[in-house]
Amino acid sequence: MAKAMHRESRGKEGNDSTWQLLARRVDAGGLAKLAALDNKRINSLLAEAILLCNPARVLVCDDSIEDAAQIRAKAIADGEERPLNMGGHTVHFDGYISSRRHDQARDKGNTRYLVPAECPAAEELNSIERQAGLAEIRTIMRNIMAGKEMLVRFFCLGPTASPFSIPCVQITDSAYVAHSEDLLYRPGYEQFRRGGPALPFFAMLHAAGRLENGVSIDIDRRRIYIDTVEDLVYCANSQYAGNTVGLKKLALRLAMRKAEGEGWLAEHMFLMGVHGPGGRVTYFSGAYPSACGKTSTAMLQKETVVGDDLAYIRAIDGRVRAVNVERGIFGIIEDLNGDDDPELFRVLNSAGETIFTNVLINDGKPYWNSMGRPLPAQGVNYAGLWRPGNTDCWGEEIAPSYRGNARFTLRLNRLANLDPQAEEPNGVPLGGIIYGGRDSDTAVPVLESFDWQHGIITLGAALESETTAATHGAQGVRKFNPMAILDFLSIPLGRYLRHYLDFGGQLERPPQIFATNYWLTDEQGDYLNEKRDKAVWLKWMERRVHGECAAILGPTGFLPRYEDLSCLFRQLLNKGYSRQQYERQFAVRVPQNLAKIERIGERYRRLTGIPQEVLSQLADQRQRLRDLQRRKGDLVSPLELP
């Protein structure tokens, strides 16, 4: 934390040295663990957190099984989690008061960057002047842990002892947060011990605040402030994991800035292995906005998963390699069923350490929307006792499980389809990057870009997704979400794209860039793809990476040939694939593509600092489409292309 905190916190203990303060507030076992690290910044951070938050007790944990078990037991003893019938299963409910006052989602408005006065704030980033922000958050957090126990846990982003490793310390008063991170992240105490006194790290300080019936009640004082000067995240008066589990999207924001300075990429992407001929495995990363098929792609049957959410990407010895930042899944459980996600469904119905969040509980068993089984007529959920037709104080119906935020947390090593290279310290070699959005009338099911720059700009930076009935607001609205990372940007979009372009420009052979769209519909609104068709699109991309099939040159990229897709449909899915299906799916819809370029171009023209290549690539694509329209019309079959 900043030195200013230390100055403002000086009381009767303020004249003591850091170690003397720790010796008075931390037990002998905890002091021994801190002494073994010999890290002055850790000691200073913890001492200042103690002075600020004033906990009754401090528990310092290492990587031991015993400490992890103690955290799990505390989560249950404190009522943050409740045991279920299946061995290892617990349920956690986020704070809910009503449909209009709850702690069930990321608080975008109160998630802010602390920007020093001498640094200009980026217009698209939610920020506050650093000293003013520090003063506010310290006022809110002063004595916030009085009577509670402060938990100190050490984790690692990325595999340990790896070029990708980023050590982290989480300070919290929530055993649920500490337990969740134990499932999601590699243990990091030994990484700190090996790193020595000067080891840099990210830090997170979280306090749930005043609780009533186990719920954070001072929601108006909820703040998530990100101090990029200190690589430190503050969170107060929240229990929802998106705000409190600091190593997830909050650490992504810190990592993105670190990556820009060091020449690598920190991304909101899955990692998976696609299995090709002769036992070959080709690794892909993929960025998809919510509800666009990200998890179902990463977990596709007969392929292997490395990670489902966050990836670090580096150039190592001339090759692009990537790791999963996490070792677990914090996944949306709504619609997850045995037909579409058989492996996850199997694990969720098997004994093993799993935290269910905001689901319906009946007779010690979890239930959620569209799970493929009938929901019970009553139970306990995030709002208390539940029956069909229950409404809150605003007359809003209370769903059995919280829509969009019923989740599960578990370790990836419980999955039978976990890729054997998932813990490789140097990562997996990246053959391709996929961008996917929800698009009913424009994009084809699968497409390859001409090159890195074309793909990054016209597929990644132009990513859009249509809203659905499951999201708040109007349905079918196209939301601009470049690289599916807009909500998590910690640098201006122009700098982010410049960094992306430069990263690929320095590579002799960058990963090939693809796009998928599982949501194309006909005039009646019926989908032109089946859910399982994505297996074909992935296999086609895998073969393209290795140059094993030709493609059709279109105005927006390379399209698959009918002969290749027909063969793959027969081999993989044992079903026919007609030329009529192919033409309907892969026709170039010229007016819709031109309209998209206009939307995206207008977005970028309104922003400052956007690389010139962005507007140039969009202009070139517009011209190719207009040329095609002049020659062939508004709807052009792929069979009519060169």
Instruction: Enter the tokens of residue 548.
Output: 């094993």
Binning pLDDT at 50, 70 and 90, where does residue 404 land?
A: confident
Say how far apart CA 345 and CA 371 lie, in whole Å.
Answer: 9
Say how far apart CA 21 and CA 12 lie, in whole Å.
Answer: 11
Per-residue pLDDT for 8 more than 60? no
Q: Are residues 410 and 450 in the same domain?
A: no
- How high is the pLDDT of residue 2? 44
Over its C-alpha atoms, the chain yields an Rg (Å, rounded) of 25
Q: Are residues 139 and 220 in the same domain?
A: yes
DSSP track, 32-66: HHHHHH--HHHHHHHHHHHHHH--SEEEE--S-HH
Instruction: Enter the tokens of residue 186.
Output: 């590699």
Per-residue pLDDT for 345 more than 70? yes
Catalytic residues: 292
Q: What is the share, in percent, of the chain residues with pLDDT greater than 90?
A: 85
Per-residue pLDDT for 470 more than 60? no
Q: What is the CATH classification number for the domain harbouring 176? A: 3.40.449.10
Q: Are residues 472 and 588 in the same domain?
A: yes
Say how far apart CA 171 and CA 156 lie, in whole Å.
Answer: 14
Please state the rounded mean pLDDT for residues 60-82.
97
Q: Which contiguous run of DSSP H or E holds residue 266?
A: strand 265-267
Q: Is residue 642 part of a domain?
A: no
Instruction: Enter the tokens of residue 641.
Output: 């292309």
Return the closest-CA partner of residue 180 out of 81, 67, 298, 42.
Answer: 81
Say how far apart CA 550 and CA 499 lie, in whole Å.
Answer: 31
Q: For residue 44, what are the domain limits? A: 3-81+103-262
Q: What is the CATH classification number for the domain harbouring 408? A: 2.170.8.10
Q: Are residues 271 and 159 in the same domain?
A: no
Higher per-residue pLDDT: 340 or 39:
39
The DSSP secondary-structure symbol of 419 reads: -
CA dihedral 343, 351, 337, 296 (to 10 degrees): -40
Q: Is residue 499 part of a domain?
A: yes
Return the closest-CA partner of residue 80 out of 66, 62, 95.
Answer: 95
Q: Are residues 274 and 145 in the same domain?
A: no
Q: Looking at this protein, which amino acid is placed at residue 208?
A: A
Q: Are residues 446 and 530 in the same domain?
A: yes
Q: For the segment 241-286, what is each residue's pLDDT rounded down to a tens digit?
A: 889 999 999 999 999 999 999 999 999 999 999 999 999 999 999 9
Please state the rounded mean pLDDT for residues 489-507.
95
User: What domain count does the chain have?
Assistant: 3
Per-residue pLDDT for 561 more than 90? yes
Binning pLDDT at 50, 70 and 90, where does residue 98 land?
A: confident
96-105, 324-333, 622-631: lowest mean pLDDT where? Answer: 96-105
- How high is the pLDDT of residue 526? 93
Say how far apart CA 444 and CA 448 lie, in whole Å.
Answer: 11
Say how far apart CA 101 and CA 471 lie, in whole Å.
Answer: 17
Q: For the segment 181-227, what is each residue's pLDDT rounded down to a tens digit?
A: 999 999 999 999 999 898 999 999 999 999 887 788 899 999 999 99
Q: Is residue 88 part of a domain?
A: no
